[in-house]
Amino acid sequence: MSKVVDLRSDTVTKPTQKMREAMMNAVVGDDCYGEDPTVNALEKLAAEKVGKEAAMYVPTGTMGNTAAIMAHVRSGDIVIMEPDCHIYYYEMGNVSSLAGALPVLAKSKGGCLDPDLVEEMLRSTRHRPRTALICTENTHNRAGGRVIPIENMKAIYELSREFNVPIHLDGARIFNAAIALNVDAQEIAKYADSVMFCLSKGLSAPVGSLLAGTADFIQEARRARTRLGGAMRQAGVIAAAGLIALRDMVSRLPEDHENAKVLAEGLAKIEGIDIDLQKVETNMVMVNTRPLGMGAEEIARELSKRGVKVSIYGLHTIRLVTNKDVDRDGIRLAIEAFEDLVASIP
Ligand SMILES: Cc1ncc(COP(=O)(O)O)c(C=O)c1O
């Protein structure tokens, strides 16, 4: 079978051999009793990586975000977020259905919350429900892996201190953001009270995310995790791969960013392909299919016939995500598939 280049997401990455061996040999215990040494080691390392007191292992990023919101808010509270954030757009309404909170949407640009808008919302709460949380996301998925600059995070953080409202950061790809900003992940996480990040995306673990914050917050989040059915037992079997993800795989993420640049530049040279190269900041490339006179679905189907898988991100937008399992050769094949497709358009 000819090679398939899967650029749908960095979640498609397969665990490494070292991860598989670590999983087989993991020392485990019952994590609900706090007795799984591998989970404990992962939670400790995760908290250190983002400069927080404590961390909790969860099966998915969605559960990490949901447990965080449940731990921060009471039923009927307002959570400020922007309409394209993963929590609002993809997480099945958990913020209202499971946490009982009311998402109030602040328009954003490139995933950045507008501090003026947020301030207006924070100020206008006298006859309204209590505002209990602000959610941010870095890197921003629907914005195409865009990085939220430090100044924006800082501006929102300062407001949050003034109004005494905590911030939860969906940092599913916080290490990609840190690399692009050329800072440590702690430097990003310090502008949030709680942060969730994923091991199962660019870091290639088969499963798992972490939620980090103060020790008191994490204790409350553990109750929320149990309510969600996410308290696991000998979870060290999967946490063992997570430890390798955190220790070994962060340092290879720049390779994905470089590949995204090579891919974007190669595609931008093809007539009719519309890419804003300025917006390629991490491992994602967004392509506007409109100038080709074809919808995203049709383009995705045609590329798939040529061995390249991409995600549909709108009627006329496709997303390509570079990842560990696509090397420079794969990037070249993807560019060639686009060239072939464009050449076939009458
Ligand atoms: C920004 C962001 N947050 C959260 C998640 C949820 O992670 P999971 O799929 O592990 O639930 C994703 C998944 O793609 C994501 O991109």
Evaluate: CB of 60 within 6 angstroms of ligand 1: yes
Q: Give the span between the Cα atoms of 268 and 265, in whole angstroms.
A: 5
Q: Give the span between the Cα atoms of 160 and 142, in whole angstroms.
A: 24
Atom of ligand 1 nearest to the CA of 63: 11
Whether residue 317 has a cis bond before it, omega within 30° of 0: no
Evaluate: CB of 172 within 6 angstroms of ligand 1: yes
Q: Give the span between the Cα atoms of 34 and 31, in whole angstroms.
A: 5
Structure tokens at 311: 């995600």
Q: How far is the CA of 216 from the centre of ligand 1 (A)?
A: 25
- Ligand 1 mutation pick, 88, 90, 140, max ligand atoms within 8 A of CB: 90
| Residue 259 · residue 328 · CB < 8 Å | yes
Evaluate: CB of 160 within 6 angstroms of ligand 1: no
Structure tokens at 278: 């300025």
Determine which residue's CA is closest to atom 16 belonging to ligand 1.
141
Distances (CA, A) of 26 to 18, 179, 237, 250, 261: 12, 30, 6, 21, 37
Q: According to the model, what pLDDT value does residue 125 have?
A: 67
In a structure prediction context, what are the per-residue pLDDT tens digits for the chain, which is 346 residues long? Answer: 578 999 999 999 999 999 999 999 999 999 999 999 999 999 999 999 999 999 999 999 999 999 999 999 999 999 999 999 999 999 999 999 999 999 999 999 999 999 999 999 999 767 889 999 999 999 999 999 999 999 999 999 999 999 999 999 999 999 999 999 999 999 999 999 999 999 999 999 999 999 999 999 999 999 999 999 999 999 999 999 999 999 999 999 999 999 999 999 999 999 999 999 999 999 999 999 999 999 999 999 999 999 999 999 999 999 999 999 999 999 999 999 999 999 999 8
> Tokens 């040999």 identify what position?
25
Q: According to the model, what pLDDT value does residue 110 have?
A: 93
Evaluate: CB of 198 within 6 angstroms of ligand 1: yes
Q: For residue 101, give the nearest of 83, 80, 117, 118 by alpha carbon.
A: 80
Evaluate: CB of 170 within 6 angstroms of ligand 1: yes
Q: Going along 188-232, which residue ranges are E strands?
A: 194-198, 209-213
- For 105, phi then psi, to 5°, come to -95, 130
| Residue 247 · residue 239 · CB < 8 Å | no
Atom of ligand 1 nearest to the CA of 137: 1
Q: Give the span between the Cα atoms of 338 and 263, in whole angstroms.
A: 11
Q: How far is the CA of 173 from the centre of ligand 1 (A)?
A: 9
Q: How far is the CA of 346 from the centre of ligand 1 (A)?
A: 39
107-119 as b/e: b if 16+ CB within 10 A:
ebeebbbbbeebb
Determine which residue's CA is closest to atom 8 belonging to ligand 1.
61
- pTM for the whole structure: 0.97
Q: How far is the CA of 87 from the centre of ligand 1 (A)?
A: 8
Q: How far is the CA of 221 from the centre of ligand 1 (A)?
A: 18
Evaluate: CB of 58 within 6 angstroms of ligand 1: no
- Ligand 1 mutation pick, 84, 198, 225, max ligand atoms within 8 A of CB: 198
Atom of ligand 1 nearest to the CA of 140: 1
Q: Which residues make Cβ contacts (< 8 Å) with residue 320, sequence separation at least 6? A: 7, 260, 263, 284, 285, 286, 287, 310, 311, 334
Q: Going along 246-343, which residue ranges are E strands?
A: 284-288, 308-309, 311-314, 317-321
Strand bridging mode 167-170 / 194-198: parallel
Atom of ligand 1 nearest to the CA of 60: 10
Please report the sign of the dihedral spanned by the C-alpha atoms of residue 106, residue 109, residue 110, residue 113: negative
Evaluate: CB of 111 within 6 angstroms of ligand 1: no
